[in-house]
Amino acid sequence: METIEKAKKTFIDDICSIPGGEKIRLCIQCGTCSASCPNVNKMEYTPRQIIAMARAGMRDEVLSSNSMWCCASCYLCTVRCPRDIKPTELMHALECVAVSQPSKKAKTKTPAMYKSFSDFAYSLGSVPEVGFMTWYYFRTNPLRAVKMMPMALSLLRHGRMNIKAKRMKPEAERQLKAILNKAEELGGIE
Amino acid sequence: MKRYYTYFPGCSSSDGGAKAYGMSTEAVSKVLDMDLIELEDSNCCGSTPYSSVDELASLCNSARNLALAEKKGLDLVTPCSSCYVILKRTNQYLKEYPKLKAKVNEALAAGGLEYHGTVKPRHLLDVFVNDVGYDEIKSKVKINLGELKIAPYYGCQVVRPFASFDHPEYPQTLDRLVESLGAKATPFPLKARCCGGSLIISEEDLALQSVNKLLENAVSNGAELMITVCPLCQTNLDVYQGKTNKKFKTNFKIPVLFFTQFMGVAFGINNKTLGMEKCIVPADKVLAKSLKGAKGG
Protein backbone atom coordinates (compact mmCIF):
# COMPACT_ATOMS: atom_id res chain seq x y z
CA MET A 1 0.00 0.00 0.00
CA GLU A 2 2.78 2.30 0.97
CA THR A 3 4.48 1.92 -2.42
CA ILE A 4 1.25 2.68 -4.30
CA GLU A 5 0.82 5.85 -2.27
CA LYS A 6 4.42 6.74 -2.94
CA ALA A 7 4.11 6.19 -6.69
CA LYS A 8 0.95 8.28 -6.72
CA LYS A 9 2.74 11.09 -4.95
CA THR A 10 5.73 10.93 -7.33
CA PHE A 11 3.47 11.24 -10.38
CA ILE A 12 1.62 14.25 -9.00
CA ASP A 13 4.95 15.80 -7.95
CA ASP A 14 6.29 15.35 -11.48
CA ILE A 15 3.28 17.13 -12.92
CA CYS A 16 3.45 19.90 -10.33
CA SER A 17 7.15 20.48 -11.00
CA ILE A 18 6.35 21.89 -14.45
CA PRO A 19 5.00 25.46 -14.41
CA GLY A 20 1.25 25.34 -14.93
CA GLY A 21 1.10 21.73 -13.72
CA GLU A 22 0.80 22.60 -10.03
CA LYS A 23 -2.71 23.99 -10.51
CA ILE A 24 -4.01 20.43 -10.95
CA ARG A 25 -4.61 20.44 -7.20
CA LEU A 26 -7.27 23.17 -7.51
CA CYS A 27 -9.69 21.33 -9.82
CA ILE A 28 -13.28 20.96 -8.60
CA GLN A 29 -14.26 18.56 -11.42
CA CYS A 30 -16.96 20.83 -12.85
CA GLY A 31 -16.27 19.70 -16.43
CA THR A 32 -16.28 23.16 -18.04
CA CYS A 33 -13.01 22.27 -19.78
CA SER A 34 -14.44 19.11 -21.33
CA ALA A 35 -17.59 20.89 -22.44
CA SER A 36 -15.56 23.68 -24.08
CA CYS A 37 -13.00 21.50 -25.87
CA PRO A 38 -13.42 21.36 -29.68
CA ASN A 39 -11.41 18.12 -29.87
CA VAL A 40 -12.86 16.22 -26.93
CA ASN A 41 -14.61 13.67 -29.15
CA LYS A 42 -11.22 12.30 -30.27
CA MET A 43 -9.79 12.06 -26.77
CA GLU A 44 -9.68 8.72 -24.97
CA TYR A 45 -10.44 10.57 -21.73
CA THR A 46 -11.89 14.06 -21.41
CA PRO A 47 -9.75 16.77 -19.78
CA ARG A 48 -11.82 16.51 -16.60
CA GLN A 49 -11.28 12.74 -16.50
CA ILE A 50 -7.55 13.10 -17.14
CA ILE A 51 -7.26 15.44 -14.16
CA ALA A 52 -9.18 13.01 -11.92
CA MET A 53 -7.08 10.08 -13.13
CA ALA A 54 -3.80 11.92 -12.60
CA ARG A 55 -4.82 12.83 -9.08
CA ALA A 56 -5.76 9.19 -8.44
CA GLY A 57 -2.21 8.24 -9.45
CA MET A 58 -3.16 6.42 -12.66
CA ARG A 59 0.21 7.20 -14.19
CA ASP A 60 0.33 4.67 -17.03
CA GLU A 61 -3.25 5.27 -18.15
CA VAL A 62 -2.71 9.04 -18.24
CA LEU A 63 0.69 9.04 -19.92
CA SER A 64 -0.27 6.53 -22.60
CA SER A 65 -3.56 8.23 -23.47
CA ASN A 66 -3.96 10.43 -26.52
CA SER A 67 -5.93 13.08 -24.63
CA MET A 68 -3.31 15.79 -24.11
CA TRP A 69 -1.97 15.23 -27.64
CA CYS A 70 -5.40 16.12 -29.07
CA CYS A 71 -5.20 19.55 -27.45
CA ALA A 72 -4.78 22.20 -30.16
CA SER A 73 -3.95 24.90 -27.58
CA CYS A 74 -7.04 26.94 -28.40
CA TYR A 75 -7.25 28.03 -24.74
CA LEU A 76 -11.05 28.04 -24.63
CA CYS A 77 -11.02 25.94 -21.45
CA THR A 78 -8.41 28.26 -19.99
CA VAL A 79 -10.51 31.41 -20.30
CA ARG A 80 -13.59 29.60 -18.93
CA CYS A 81 -12.16 27.59 -16.00
CA PRO A 82 -13.77 28.86 -12.77
CA ARG A 83 -10.68 27.82 -10.78
CA ASP A 84 -8.20 29.51 -13.11
CA ILE A 85 -6.41 26.21 -13.62
CA LYS A 86 -5.35 26.82 -17.23
CA PRO A 87 -6.06 23.28 -18.43
CA THR A 88 -4.20 24.03 -21.69
CA GLU A 89 -0.96 24.56 -19.78
CA LEU A 90 -1.73 21.51 -17.69
CA MET A 91 -1.96 19.50 -20.94
CA HIS A 92 1.46 20.88 -21.95
CA ALA A 93 2.84 19.80 -18.57
CA LEU A 94 1.41 16.28 -19.05
CA GLU A 95 2.96 16.15 -22.52
CA CYS A 96 6.35 17.09 -21.08
CA VAL A 97 6.05 14.37 -18.43
CA ALA A 98 4.97 11.83 -21.07
CA VAL A 99 7.98 12.47 -23.32
CA SER A 100 10.46 12.46 -20.43
CA GLN A 101 9.31 9.20 -18.82
CA PRO A 102 9.22 5.70 -20.24
CA SER A 103 5.63 4.63 -20.70
CA LYS A 104 3.42 2.85 -23.18
CA LYS A 105 3.18 4.98 -26.30
CA ALA A 106 -0.03 6.87 -26.97
CA LYS A 107 -1.90 6.12 -30.19
CA THR A 108 -1.16 9.43 -31.90
CA LYS A 109 1.53 10.90 -34.12
CA THR A 110 1.40 14.30 -32.46
CA PRO A 111 4.44 13.67 -30.18
CA ALA A 112 6.55 12.76 -33.22
CA MET A 113 5.32 15.88 -35.03
CA TYR A 114 6.12 18.13 -32.06
CA LYS A 115 9.53 16.49 -31.70
CA SER A 116 10.32 16.96 -35.40
CA PHE A 117 9.37 20.63 -35.08
CA SER A 118 11.50 21.24 -32.00
CA ASP A 119 14.46 19.38 -33.54
CA PHE A 120 14.48 22.04 -36.24
CA ALA A 121 13.96 24.91 -33.82
CA TYR A 122 16.94 23.61 -31.83
CA SER A 123 19.32 22.86 -34.66
CA LEU A 124 18.56 25.69 -37.12
CA GLY A 125 16.82 28.32 -35.02
CA SER A 126 14.10 28.36 -37.65
CA VAL A 127 11.52 25.86 -38.85
CA PRO A 128 11.36 25.59 -42.64
CA GLU A 129 8.06 23.85 -43.36
CA VAL A 130 9.43 21.57 -46.11
CA GLY A 131 12.29 20.25 -44.00
CA PHE A 132 10.18 19.84 -40.90
CA MET A 133 7.38 17.97 -42.70
CA THR A 134 9.81 15.71 -44.57
CA TRP A 135 11.58 14.88 -41.32
CA TYR A 136 8.25 14.17 -39.62
CA TYR A 137 7.03 11.84 -42.41
CA PHE A 138 10.38 10.11 -42.46
CA ARG A 139 10.03 9.41 -38.74
CA THR A 140 6.43 8.26 -38.84
CA ASN A 141 5.19 7.10 -42.22
CA PRO A 142 7.24 7.80 -45.37
CA LEU A 143 4.32 6.62 -47.51
CA ARG A 144 2.25 9.58 -46.31
CA ALA A 145 4.83 11.86 -47.88
CA VAL A 146 3.93 10.40 -51.26
CA LYS A 147 0.24 11.03 -50.59
CA MET A 148 1.01 14.65 -49.72
CA MET A 149 2.74 15.25 -53.06
CA PRO A 150 -0.22 16.87 -54.88
CA MET A 151 -0.61 19.40 -52.08
CA ALA A 152 3.13 20.05 -52.02
CA LEU A 153 3.16 20.66 -55.77
CA SER A 154 0.24 23.05 -55.51
CA LEU A 155 2.07 24.99 -52.78
CA LEU A 156 5.21 25.05 -54.90
CA ARG A 157 3.25 26.35 -57.89
CA HIS A 158 1.76 29.12 -55.77
CA GLY A 159 5.16 30.19 -54.46
CA ARG A 160 4.43 28.98 -50.95
CA MET A 161 7.13 26.42 -50.57
CA ASN A 162 10.66 27.41 -49.91
CA ILE A 163 13.13 24.59 -50.40
CA LYS A 164 16.07 26.48 -48.97
CA ALA A 165 16.02 27.01 -45.22
CA LYS A 166 16.54 30.51 -43.90
CA ARG A 167 19.65 30.42 -41.74
CA MET A 168 20.71 32.62 -38.87
CA LYS A 169 24.16 34.21 -38.92
CA PRO A 170 26.75 31.69 -37.61
CA GLU A 171 27.42 33.71 -34.44
CA ALA A 172 23.69 33.96 -33.70
CA GLU A 173 23.32 30.23 -34.24
CA ARG A 174 26.21 29.60 -31.84
CA GLN A 175 24.61 31.89 -29.26
CA LEU A 176 21.26 30.08 -29.48
CA LYS A 177 22.98 26.68 -29.14
CA ALA A 178 24.95 27.84 -26.12
CA ILE A 179 21.71 28.97 -24.44
CA LEU A 180 19.80 25.79 -25.26
CA ASN A 181 22.67 23.52 -24.25
CA LYS A 182 22.90 25.35 -20.95
CA ALA A 183 19.14 24.87 -20.50
CA GLU A 184 19.60 21.16 -20.97
CA GLU A 185 22.49 21.11 -18.53
CA LEU A 186 20.31 22.83 -15.93
CA GLY A 187 18.11 19.77 -16.33
CA GLY A 188 14.51 20.79 -16.07
CA ILE A 189 12.48 23.32 -14.21
CA GLU A 190 13.01 22.42 -10.56
CA MET B 1 3.50 60.91 -36.95
CA LYS B 2 5.67 57.94 -37.76
CA ARG B 3 5.36 55.00 -35.40
CA TYR B 4 8.30 52.68 -34.66
CA TYR B 5 8.17 49.03 -33.66
CA THR B 6 10.47 46.05 -33.39
CA TYR B 7 9.11 43.50 -35.85
CA PHE B 8 9.02 39.73 -35.36
CA PRO B 9 7.55 38.18 -38.52
CA GLY B 10 7.92 34.54 -37.47
CA CYS B 11 9.14 31.70 -39.69
CA SER B 12 5.99 31.27 -41.72
CA SER B 13 5.42 34.92 -42.67
CA SER B 14 9.03 35.73 -43.38
CA ASP B 15 10.03 32.90 -45.64
CA GLY B 16 7.51 30.10 -45.46
CA GLY B 17 4.00 29.21 -46.53
CA ALA B 18 2.59 32.53 -45.34
CA LYS B 19 5.07 34.71 -47.14
CA ALA B 20 2.17 36.77 -48.49
CA TYR B 21 1.36 37.72 -44.89
CA GLY B 22 4.81 39.23 -44.41
CA MET B 23 4.72 40.96 -47.80
CA SER B 24 1.29 42.51 -47.24
CA THR B 25 2.14 43.47 -43.66
CA GLU B 26 5.11 45.48 -44.88
CA ALA B 27 3.15 47.12 -47.69
CA VAL B 28 0.20 48.11 -45.51
CA SER B 29 2.39 49.33 -42.65
CA LYS B 30 4.14 51.67 -45.04
CA VAL B 31 0.83 53.25 -46.04
CA LEU B 32 -0.02 53.66 -42.34
CA ASP B 33 3.32 55.37 -41.71
CA MET B 34 4.62 52.62 -39.45
CA ASP B 35 8.25 51.61 -39.35
CA LEU B 36 8.56 47.89 -38.62
CA ILE B 37 12.21 47.26 -37.81
CA GLU B 38 12.87 43.53 -38.05
CA LEU B 39 14.49 41.92 -35.02
CA GLU B 40 17.82 40.79 -36.42
CA ASP B 41 19.10 37.28 -35.79
CA SER B 42 15.97 36.19 -33.99
CA ASN B 43 15.13 32.50 -33.75
CA CYS B 44 11.92 30.51 -34.20
CA CYS B 45 9.49 31.25 -31.32
CA GLY B 46 9.21 27.51 -30.66
CA SER B 47 5.42 27.60 -30.98
CA THR B 48 3.27 25.03 -29.16
CA PRO B 49 5.44 22.00 -30.10
CA TYR B 50 8.57 23.12 -28.25
CA SER B 51 6.73 23.88 -24.99
CA SER B 52 5.05 20.49 -25.23
CA VAL B 53 8.25 18.48 -25.25
CA ASP B 54 10.70 20.55 -23.17
CA GLU B 55 9.34 23.42 -21.12
CA LEU B 56 12.62 24.90 -19.86
CA ALA B 57 14.37 24.81 -23.24
CA SER B 58 11.32 26.30 -24.94
CA LEU B 59 11.21 29.19 -22.46
CA CYS B 60 14.94 29.86 -22.93
CA ASN B 61 14.46 29.68 -26.69
CA SER B 62 11.72 32.29 -26.55
CA ALA B 63 13.47 34.42 -23.92
CA ARG B 64 16.42 34.86 -26.29
CA ASN B 65 14.14 36.75 -28.68
CA LEU B 66 12.77 38.85 -25.84
CA ALA B 67 16.27 39.64 -24.58
CA LEU B 68 17.31 40.78 -28.06
CA ALA B 69 14.15 42.88 -28.37
CA GLU B 70 14.62 44.44 -24.93
CA LYS B 71 17.78 46.17 -26.13
CA LYS B 72 15.71 47.99 -28.77
CA GLY B 73 13.26 49.50 -26.30
CA LEU B 74 10.23 49.32 -28.58
CA ASP B 75 7.04 47.25 -28.54
CA LEU B 76 7.58 43.87 -30.20
CA VAL B 77 5.02 43.39 -32.98
CA THR B 78 4.21 40.11 -34.69
CA PRO B 79 1.52 39.22 -37.24
CA CYS B 80 1.53 35.58 -36.11
CA SER B 81 -0.92 34.56 -33.38
CA SER B 82 1.29 31.70 -32.26
CA CYS B 83 4.44 33.81 -31.93
CA TYR B 84 2.32 36.35 -30.06
CA VAL B 85 1.11 33.83 -27.46
CA ILE B 86 4.52 32.25 -27.01
CA LEU B 87 6.21 35.62 -26.41
CA LYS B 88 3.51 36.78 -23.99
CA ARG B 89 3.43 33.42 -22.23
CA THR B 90 7.19 33.54 -21.67
CA ASN B 91 6.82 36.98 -20.10
CA GLN B 92 4.02 35.74 -17.86
CA TYR B 93 5.89 32.63 -16.73
CA LEU B 94 9.05 34.55 -15.89
CA LYS B 95 6.97 36.97 -13.83
CA GLU B 96 4.94 34.29 -12.05
CA TYR B 97 7.84 31.93 -11.30
CA PRO B 98 10.91 33.81 -10.01
CA LYS B 99 12.93 30.60 -9.65
CA LEU B 100 12.28 29.86 -13.28
CA LYS B 101 13.34 33.35 -14.29
CA ALA B 102 16.67 32.82 -12.54
CA LYS B 103 17.19 29.57 -14.43
CA VAL B 104 16.28 31.12 -17.76
CA ASN B 105 18.68 33.97 -17.14
CA GLU B 106 21.39 31.50 -16.20
CA ALA B 107 20.93 29.85 -19.60
CA LEU B 108 20.77 33.21 -21.40
CA ALA B 109 24.04 34.20 -19.73
CA ALA B 110 25.71 31.32 -21.57
CA GLY B 111 24.98 33.33 -24.70
CA GLY B 112 25.94 36.66 -23.14
CA LEU B 113 22.31 37.79 -22.74
CA GLU B 114 20.00 38.80 -19.93
CA TYR B 115 16.27 39.46 -19.88
CA HIS B 116 14.56 41.76 -17.37
CA GLY B 117 10.98 41.20 -18.48
CA THR B 118 10.18 44.63 -19.90
CA VAL B 119 9.27 43.85 -23.52
CA LYS B 120 5.65 44.25 -24.56
CA PRO B 121 4.76 41.71 -27.27
CA ARG B 122 1.78 42.78 -29.38
CA HIS B 123 -0.24 41.36 -32.24
CA LEU B 124 -0.32 43.39 -35.43
CA LEU B 125 -4.14 43.62 -35.27
CA ASP B 126 -3.88 45.32 -31.87
CA VAL B 127 -1.37 47.84 -33.20
CA PHE B 128 -3.49 48.65 -36.26
CA VAL B 129 -6.73 49.24 -34.41
CA ASN B 130 -5.40 50.77 -31.19
CA ASP B 131 -2.29 52.72 -32.19
CA VAL B 132 -3.17 53.70 -35.75
CA GLY B 133 -6.93 53.62 -35.21
CA TYR B 134 -10.00 52.99 -37.35
CA ASP B 135 -10.32 56.59 -38.55
CA GLU B 136 -6.80 56.79 -39.86
CA ILE B 137 -7.19 53.42 -41.57
CA LYS B 138 -10.44 54.62 -43.13
CA SER B 139 -8.72 57.73 -44.44
CA LYS B 140 -6.31 55.58 -46.49
CA VAL B 141 -9.02 53.66 -48.36
CA LYS B 142 -8.86 54.25 -52.10
CA ILE B 143 -11.00 51.45 -53.48
CA ASN B 144 -14.71 51.21 -52.90
CA LEU B 145 -15.30 47.59 -51.92
CA GLY B 146 -19.00 47.86 -52.57
CA GLU B 147 -20.32 46.13 -49.46
CA LEU B 148 -18.30 42.97 -50.05
CA LYS B 149 -19.35 40.42 -47.38
CA ILE B 150 -16.46 39.34 -45.21
CA ALA B 151 -16.27 36.69 -42.48
CA PRO B 152 -13.71 38.03 -39.98
CA TYR B 153 -11.95 34.97 -38.60
CA TYR B 154 -9.95 35.53 -35.41
CA GLY B 155 -9.08 31.97 -34.51
CA CYS B 156 -7.88 31.28 -30.99
CA GLN B 157 -4.58 32.65 -29.96
CA VAL B 158 -4.97 36.28 -30.96
CA VAL B 159 -7.55 36.63 -28.17
CA ARG B 160 -6.80 33.65 -25.91
CA PRO B 161 -5.51 33.14 -23.32
CA PHE B 162 -4.44 36.80 -23.28
CA ALA B 163 -7.50 38.92 -23.96
CA SER B 164 -5.36 42.03 -23.87
CA PHE B 165 -7.19 44.04 -26.52
CA ASP B 166 -10.40 42.18 -27.35
CA HIS B 167 -12.95 39.78 -25.90
CA PRO B 168 -11.69 36.16 -25.60
CA GLU B 169 -14.85 34.64 -27.07
CA TYR B 170 -16.74 37.39 -28.88
CA PRO B 171 -14.07 39.65 -30.33
CA GLN B 172 -15.00 42.74 -32.35
CA THR B 173 -11.83 44.52 -33.48
CA LEU B 174 -11.49 42.76 -36.83
CA ASP B 175 -15.21 43.27 -37.53
CA ARG B 176 -14.81 47.00 -36.98
CA LEU B 177 -11.67 47.07 -39.09
CA VAL B 178 -13.57 45.47 -41.99
CA GLU B 179 -16.32 48.05 -41.68
CA SER B 180 -13.83 50.91 -41.64
CA LEU B 181 -12.45 49.58 -44.93
CA GLY B 182 -15.90 49.98 -46.46
CA ALA B 183 -16.80 46.28 -46.57
CA LYS B 184 -19.41 44.42 -44.57
CA ALA B 185 -18.55 42.05 -41.72
CA THR B 186 -21.05 39.17 -41.72
CA PRO B 187 -22.23 37.59 -38.49
CA PHE B 188 -19.87 34.68 -37.85
CA PRO B 189 -20.66 32.81 -34.64
CA LEU B 190 -17.59 30.55 -34.88
CA LYS B 191 -15.17 33.42 -35.51
CA ALA B 192 -13.01 32.62 -32.48
CA ARG B 193 -13.27 28.84 -32.73
CA CYS B 194 -10.17 26.70 -33.30
CA CYS B 195 -9.05 25.76 -36.86
CA GLY B 196 -7.24 22.66 -35.61
CA GLY B 197 -3.83 24.33 -35.62
CA SER B 198 -0.78 22.18 -36.25
CA LEU B 199 -2.78 19.03 -35.50
CA ILE B 200 -3.70 19.15 -39.19
CA ILE B 201 -0.34 17.44 -39.72
CA SER B 202 -0.58 14.67 -37.14
CA GLU B 203 -4.35 14.32 -36.62
CA GLU B 204 -5.72 15.35 -39.98
CA ASP B 205 -9.26 14.01 -39.49
CA LEU B 206 -9.61 15.93 -36.26
CA ALA B 207 -8.51 19.22 -37.78
CA LEU B 208 -10.48 18.84 -41.02
CA GLN B 209 -13.60 18.49 -38.91
CA SER B 210 -12.89 21.96 -37.47
CA VAL B 211 -12.07 23.43 -40.87
CA ASN B 212 -15.34 22.08 -42.28
CA LYS B 213 -17.36 23.64 -39.45
CA LEU B 214 -15.71 27.03 -39.96
CA LEU B 215 -16.18 27.08 -43.74
CA GLU B 216 -19.81 25.99 -43.36
CA ASN B 217 -20.49 28.62 -40.73
CA ALA B 218 -18.91 31.43 -42.75
CA VAL B 219 -20.64 30.54 -46.02
CA SER B 220 -24.06 29.91 -44.50
CA ASN B 221 -23.90 33.40 -43.00
CA GLY B 222 -23.44 34.89 -46.44
CA ALA B 223 -19.69 35.47 -46.49
CA GLU B 224 -17.99 35.77 -49.89
CA LEU B 225 -14.49 35.96 -48.46
CA MET B 226 -12.78 35.10 -45.18
CA ILE B 227 -9.93 37.01 -43.60
CA THR B 228 -7.53 35.69 -40.97
CA VAL B 229 -4.89 37.06 -38.59
CA CYS B 230 -2.74 33.93 -38.35
CA PRO B 231 -0.52 31.99 -40.81
CA LEU B 232 -1.72 28.61 -39.63
CA CYS B 233 -5.43 29.55 -39.80
CA GLN B 234 -4.97 30.74 -43.38
CA THR B 235 -3.14 27.53 -44.31
CA ASN B 236 -5.77 25.26 -42.80
CA LEU B 237 -8.71 27.12 -44.34
CA ASP B 238 -7.17 27.76 -47.76
CA VAL B 239 -4.66 24.99 -48.49
CA TYR B 240 -6.80 22.27 -46.89
CA GLN B 241 -10.13 23.51 -48.29
CA GLY B 242 -9.93 21.01 -51.18
CA LYS B 243 -9.21 18.12 -48.83
CA THR B 244 -12.05 19.19 -46.56
CA ASN B 245 -14.44 19.33 -49.53
CA LYS B 246 -13.44 15.84 -50.55
CA LYS B 247 -13.84 14.39 -47.07
CA PHE B 248 -17.19 16.01 -46.29
CA LYS B 249 -18.53 16.01 -49.88
CA THR B 250 -18.95 19.77 -49.87
CA ASN B 251 -18.14 22.30 -52.54
CA PHE B 252 -16.75 25.32 -50.72
CA LYS B 253 -14.74 27.73 -52.82
CA ILE B 254 -14.33 30.64 -50.48
CA PRO B 255 -11.11 32.64 -50.74
CA VAL B 256 -9.19 33.15 -47.49
CA LEU B 257 -6.99 36.23 -47.28
CA PHE B 258 -4.71 37.57 -44.61
CA PHE B 259 -6.34 40.68 -43.15
CA THR B 260 -3.34 42.69 -44.32
CA GLN B 261 -3.90 41.54 -47.92
CA PHE B 262 -7.49 42.70 -47.67
CA MET B 263 -6.43 46.06 -46.24
CA GLY B 264 -3.95 46.34 -49.10
CA VAL B 265 -6.70 45.79 -51.66
CA ALA B 266 -8.75 48.58 -50.09
CA PHE B 267 -5.68 50.83 -50.05
CA GLY B 268 -5.21 50.25 -53.78
CA ILE B 269 -1.92 48.33 -53.48
CA ASN B 270 -1.25 46.04 -56.44
CA ASN B 271 -1.82 42.30 -56.28
CA LYS B 272 1.79 41.33 -56.73
CA THR B 273 3.00 43.37 -53.77
CA LEU B 274 0.30 41.73 -51.63
CA GLY B 275 1.21 38.21 -52.78
CA MET B 276 -2.36 37.60 -53.95
CA GLU B 277 -1.27 34.90 -56.41
CA LYS B 278 -0.24 32.75 -53.44
CA CYS B 279 -3.84 32.00 -52.45
CA ILE B 280 -4.82 28.45 -53.39
CA VAL B 281 -8.49 29.40 -53.66
CA PRO B 282 -8.20 32.48 -55.89
CA ALA B 283 -9.76 35.72 -54.66
CA ASP B 284 -9.68 37.67 -57.94
CA LYS B 285 -13.22 36.79 -59.10
CA VAL B 286 -14.87 37.75 -55.83
CA LEU B 287 -12.86 40.97 -55.63
CA ALA B 288 -13.46 41.85 -59.30
CA LYS B 289 -17.20 41.35 -58.88
CA SER B 290 -17.37 43.68 -55.91
CA LEU B 291 -15.20 46.30 -57.59
CA LYS B 292 -17.44 46.21 -60.67
CA GLY B 293 -20.52 46.44 -58.44
CA ALA B 294 -19.04 49.41 -56.63
CA LYS B 295 -18.36 51.25 -59.86
CA GLY B 296 -21.89 50.53 -61.13
CA GLY B 297 -23.42 51.71 -57.87
Distance between CA atoms of B181 and B277, rounded to whole angstroms? 22
B111 and B244 fall within a common domain: no
- Do B188 and B217 contact (CB within 8 A), yes or no? yes
Q: Which residue has the higher pLDDT, A20 or A87?
A: A87
Contacts of A127 in chain B (CB under 8 A): 11, 44, 47
- pLDDT-derived band at B297, boundaries 50, 70, 90: very low
B88 and B157 fall within a common domain: no
Q: Specify whether the backbone of B104 is left (phi greater than 0), alpha (psi in -120 to 50) or beta.
A: alpha
> How high is the ipTM of this complex?
0.94
Write down which residue in B69, B94, B124 finishes a domain. Answer: B124
* Confidence check: pLDDT of B296 > 50: no
B64 and B147 fall within a common domain: no
Which pLDDT belongs to residue B295? 54
Q: Do A39 and B206 touch (CB under 8 A)?
A: yes
* Confidence check: pLDDT of A7 > 80: no
In this prediction, residues A76-104 reach a mean pLDDT of 93
Domain architecture of chain A: domains with CATH: 2-100 (1.10.1060.10), 110-186 (no CATH)
User: What is the domain count for chain B?
Assistant: 2
B108 and B153 fall within a common domain: no
Helix, strand, coil content of chain B in percent (nearest 5): 50, 10, 40
Q: Do B107 and A182 touch (CB under 8 A)?
A: yes
Beta strands in chain B (DSSP E): 3-7, 34-38, 76-78, 121-123, 149-153, 184-185, 225-228, 256-258
- Asked, for residue B192, whether it belongs to a domain, the answer is yes
Q: Supply φ then ψ for residue B123, to 5 degrees.
A: -85, 145
In this prediction, residues B292-297 reach a mean pLDDT of 56
Which pLDDT belongs to residue B293? 63
Dump pLDDT digits (tens) for B238-268. 999 999 999 999 999 999 999 999 999 999 9
B205 and B235 fall within a common domain: yes
Compute the nearest-CA separation of B32 from chain A (Å): 27
Q: Do A125 and B43 touch (CB under 8 A)?
A: yes
B38 and B118 fall within a common domain: yes
Query: What is the secondary structure of chain A as a DSSP string?
Result: -HHHHHHHHHHHHHHHTSTTGGGGGG-----HHHHH-TTGGG-SS-HHHHHHHHHTT-HHHHHTSSTGGG-----HHHHH-TT---HHHHHHHHHHHHHHS--PPPS-SHHHHHHHHHHHHHHHSS--HHHHHHHHHHHH-HHHHHHTHHHHHHHHHTT----SPP---HHHHHHHHHHHHHHHHHTS--
Looking up residue B28, the CATH number of its domain turns out to be: 1.20.1050.140
* Confidence check: pLDDT of B292 > 90: no
Write down which residue in B66, B94, B124 finishes a domain. Answer: B124
- Asked, for residue B136, whether it belongs to a domain, the answer is no
* Confidence check: pLDDT of A105 > 90: no
B292 and B152 fall within a common domain: yes
Of B236, B170, B140, residue with least CA distance to B197: B236
Q: Do A133 and B277 touch (CB under 8 A)?
A: no
Of A93, A65, A91, A63, residue with least CA distance to A190: A93
- pLDDT-derived band at A120, boundaries 50, 70, 90: confident
Distance between CA atoms of B206 and A80, rounded to whole angstroms? 22
| Per-residue burial over A90-120, b = 16 or more CB atoms within 10 Å of its CB, e = otherwise | bbbbbbbbbeeeeeeebebbbbbbbbbbbbb
Dump pLDDT digits (tens) for B200-234. 999 999 999 999 999 999 999 999 999 999 999 99
Range of the domain at B182: 141-296
Dump pLDDT digits (tens) for B115-152. 999 999 999 999 999 999 999 999 999 999 888 999 99
Q: Which of B44, B112, B243 has the CB atom closest to A125's CB atom? A: B44
* Confidence check: pLDDT of B33 > 80: yes
Which pLDDT belongs to residue B243? 96
In this prediction, residues B47-76 reach a mean pLDDT of 95
Residue of A nearest to B197 (CA): A72
B216 and B97 fall within a common domain: no
Contacts of B85 in chain A (CB under 8 A): 73, 75
- pLDDT-derived band at A190, boundaries 50, 70, 90: low
Q: Do B50 and A118 touch (CB under 8 A)?
A: yes
Which pLDDT belongs to residue A175? 96
B64 and B151 fall within a common domain: no
Helix (H), strand (E), coil (C) string for A89-110 = HHHHHHHHHHHHCCCCCCCCCH
B292 and B146 fall within a common domain: yes
Q: What is the CA A82 to chain-centroid distance, rounded?
A: 24
Contacts of B93 in chain A (CB under 8 A): 19-20
B80 and B170 fall within a common domain: no
- pLDDT-derived band at B284, boundaries 50, 70, 90: very high
When the pLDDT of each residue in chain A is averaged and rounded to a whole number, the result is 90
* Confidence check: pLDDT of B185 > 70: yes
- Asked, for residue B135, whether it belongs to a domain, the answer is no
Q: Do B239 and A178 touch (CB under 8 A)?
A: no
- pLDDT-derived band at A179, boundaries 50, 70, 90: very high
Compute the nearest-CA separation of B17 from chain A (Å): 4
* Confidence check: pLDDT of A162 > 90: no
Contacts of A124 in chain B (CB under 8 A): 44
* Confidence check: pLDDT of B294 > 70: no
Looking up residue B189, the CATH number of its domain turns out to be: 3.40.50.11810
pTM: 0.95
Compute the nearest-CA separation of A163 from chain B (Å): 9
Compute the nearest-CA separation of A1 from chain B (Å): 32
- Asked, for residue B131, whether it belongs to a domain, the answer is no
Write down which residue in B65, B90, B124 finishes a domain. Answer: B124
